[in-house]
Structure 1
Amino acid sequence: MQGMLRLSNALGRFVERVGVIAAWSALVLVAVIIIDVVGRHFFSTGSSKLQELEWHLHTILFMFCLGLGYVHNTHVRIEIVSEKLGRCALCIIEILGCLLMLLPFCFVVIYYGMELTQRSWEVSEISSSATGLPYRWLIKSAIPLGTLVLAISGISILLRNIVRLFRPDLVSTTTMEVESVEDENPVNITLQSGR
């Protein structure tokens, strides 16, 4: 069980690192939007490349931060139901949710996302706009890669809940320790409220 917990923490740290790196694309996204808006409104220099770059940065931000949201428990839950359940019931629901919904969904998206990316690569797909960005396969690869990060976070949460179900003494009832990427100090990451 302790090995399972160590693996869960290692996967959680990986997901957190990927998410923090991807989150920096938000800063670049804001800068690109400002440049695009100022250029269009004050200098009449609209650019398809800038608009497509905005979409690409948004895709990177969204796809690679999904797993971070799951590890940090910032996704939507039905609190009215979950606050009335005990630790065992919450663990079982989380385990079943991972096994029956999250992981199968991730594997389907990864499979078809890789197929989509491969087709885009084979035909050297470019933007439909004459002045758009080339290498469309590059941004399409964010779909399977980002979903893979989400699947890794799902495996981390699955393992943690298995340990929490059978050996609650090894796992805190509400938090998961994942080292912070910035300062290597432990950060409490909410898993779910439990009893």
Structure 2
Amino acid sequence: MLLVATVLAVVMLRYGFGMGFIWLQDFAAYAFAVFLALSVPVCLAQGGHVRVDVVSERMPPGYLRWADLFALIVFLVPVFGLAIWAYWPDLRYSWAIREASVETGGLPGLFIIKTALPVSALLVIVQGIAAVLDGGDEGKPSA
């Protein structure tokens, strides 16, 4: 709701009143980036990810656990681990210079927003491990 209200305010101010605030546009962009990055581990936790497995419906229940373990080891951990590793130097530099908006009058603290990406990647890895240890029942309500 916060993001929608901010974007609505930006549009109304710009096109309705002919005025704009760079800091408000930055806030909308920062909020979108953080919400998007942090929604990935939540989606995985709730079982909202897409399972591309056409044979799982015909396989015994134990198959799904082994398929999830295989996907965790071969795909999830390496891909998201690589994302953290590759992004780390840029993030360190951003924190070192206390990176802010490139726009004059924009918001400070871009370095904090950039931290959401590796945090999200780490949370996805942790959630993937938790889902496999839990038996592959992620997203299913408990009775």
Task: Tell me the TM-score normalised to structure 2 length.
Answer: 0.86
Tell me which residue corresponds to 2:27: 53
> Which residue identity does 1:188 align to in structure 2?
P
- 1:103-114 to structure 2, matched below 5 A, reads 103-114=77-88
Distance 1:128 1:63 in 2: 21
User: Structure 1 residue runs of 4+, over 6 Å off?
Assistant: none
Tell me which residue corresponds to 2:42: 68
Q: Percent identity, aligned pairs only? A: 24
Tell me which residue corresponds to 2:141: 188
Distance 2:32 2:55 in 1: 33
Tell me which residue corresponds to 1:148: 122
Structure having the larger proportion of residues in strand: 1
Please give the root-mean-square deviation of Cα atoms over the aligned residues, in Å.
2.1
> Which residue identity does 2:141 align to in structure 1?
N
Tell me which residue corresponds to 1:78: 52
Gaps of 5+ in 2: none
Distance 2:31 2:81 in 1: 24
Distance 2:52 2:78 in 1: 22
Tell me which residue corresponds to 1:122: 96
- 1:169-188 to structure 2, matched below 5 A, reads 175=137, 188=141
Aligned residue pairs total 142
Q: Is the 8 A contact 1:116 1:140 kept in 2?
A: no
